[in-house]
A and B are shown apart, each in its own frame.
Chain A
């Protein structure tokens, strides 16, 4: 999986179309309150960093599963998007082009 248009050093044999994966996640209220307290002074909110990191991994995993299902062995031009769909939860979307490289 790469974010460039081609896999560096390999030749693309076949394109299998766009694949995507998404996930919506929220943290439980205790962590929300703790993060709220931490935000009085500011700084890194580790609970949310972890949450979004896990969500991205999951979105990527779903995208890869779709790519494998189509018989691809690589995903190129991967892009990520984040949106806060409801207060308290955010959606992570990963998409890319599934390809077969030699």
Chain B
């Protein structure tokens, strides 16, 4: 026992601001998550979808090549017609805005499952185990703690959405540099619709940012509220499945106005993401949809409510811990 070490090498430097504590907090949460097999199983399922998109574009090229060379004949059908049909069917794999819209929507579903299962691990566990006490007793603001948790969730979201989307984008760039350089790559080449180049890249980051900001704040609030896995999943399902079904029923069966789709937060996030990817409102299916600004407003309102709840929750942490 090193009594002589007391006041050992007294610290002469300047302490860094509390904002620097955000990363250690996120890293601890991530390290806890990455040690769970369940996470890797869910992540692997998510990556299967990515692989489908990744190799799907090669499949599209190969089929088009085979059909064009006449190597593949389907009865008496004109090969060009087959090529056009196939292109339409797997148009979503051509690297256009459609590719990324579908990728984010499908991958987002997997992200929602992962988040539902990991919310307790990333955030709720701190309240159950009361280890939040260790954090808040250190010279950091409670917002640094919340930011750290949101950062951890954001990293998980981006590992499953934005990062693979960027890999898909890179794959298309490697195939044709015009994809990167020419914003009108698809329209000029009659290869598809929507922008390419930096505009599409910005759209990918935008879609990822919408998911990151909204889902991280909502999940942090839900996890701080419910704390344990099962209640978190139940609330998560209520928000993103039950409300989705309710809004669909109201708008599509009972013919209520499109504003009722705002009950579906996932739909609102996708709407904003589609806006980032350059979709026009009339292109979005299912229709009718509320205007983008309404979706943005509803998400902002939910995030503000979540933030207010988190603020109150962290102020009163001593009551429950």
Instruction: Indicate, yes or no, whether A interacts with B.
Output: no
Mark B residues whose CB is within 8 Å of A: none
Mark A residues whose CB is within 8 Å of B: none
